[in-house]
Amino acid sequence: MPFSTPAATTAATAFKVDDFVLYRDPERFWRGEPGHTFVCRVSYAERYTSGTLRYTLMPVTGGLIRNAQGEYMRLLPPADAMRDIDTAPLNGDDAADGMTAAAMAWLTQQAATANRRPELPPH
């Protein structure tokens, strides 16, 4: 199942700070070099007087990419990242089999918090 439709990704040419995107380095791609595609978080967006919009990206693996062009970026929607949690079965003996470890940890934390007696703040 695709993450998003081609029409939805190509229509999104303006990204917001804190959006997660897939960025393809065009120079490395066209030279045929490996490692040309990165998952990044948008940390800064700047519109130049010419109307050109450029981005500063922070790859999730570390580093910084400056002056990235939006044409080489695709939005990674939160719904796609959270789909396993949103669609996980919550009852039955094999409910945990279809969930990732991160989803299980999150649900366990939520259950522990929900079942704990609320504490009063200190004086």
- Residues 95, 79: Cα–Cα separation, whole Å: 21
Amino acid at the residue 57: L
Percentage of the chain beyond pLDDT 70 is 67
- Residues 75, 58: Cα–Cα separation, whole Å: 14
Residue 5 has pLDDT above 90, yes or no: no
State pLDDT tens for residues 23-64.
999 999 999 999 999 999 999 999 988 888 999 999 999 999
Tell me what the pLDDT averaged over the chain comes to. Answer: 80
Give 4's pLDDT tier (boundaries 50, 70, 90). low
**Does residue 46 contact residue 29 with C-beta atoms inside 8 Å?**
no
Residue 1 has pLDDT above 50, yes or no: no
Give 98's pLDDT tier (boundaries 50, 70, 90). low
The position carrying tokens 């040419």 is 13
Count Cα neighbours of 118 within 13 Å in the Cβ-side half-sphere: 2
More confident residue, 39 or 98: 39
Residue 71 has pLDDT above 60, yes or no: yes
Distance of CA 118 to the CA centre of its chain: 33
Q: What pTM was estimated for this model as a whole? A: 0.61
DSSP symbol at 101: H
Mean pLDDT in residue range 88-110: 68
Q: What is the pLDDT of residue 29?
A: 96
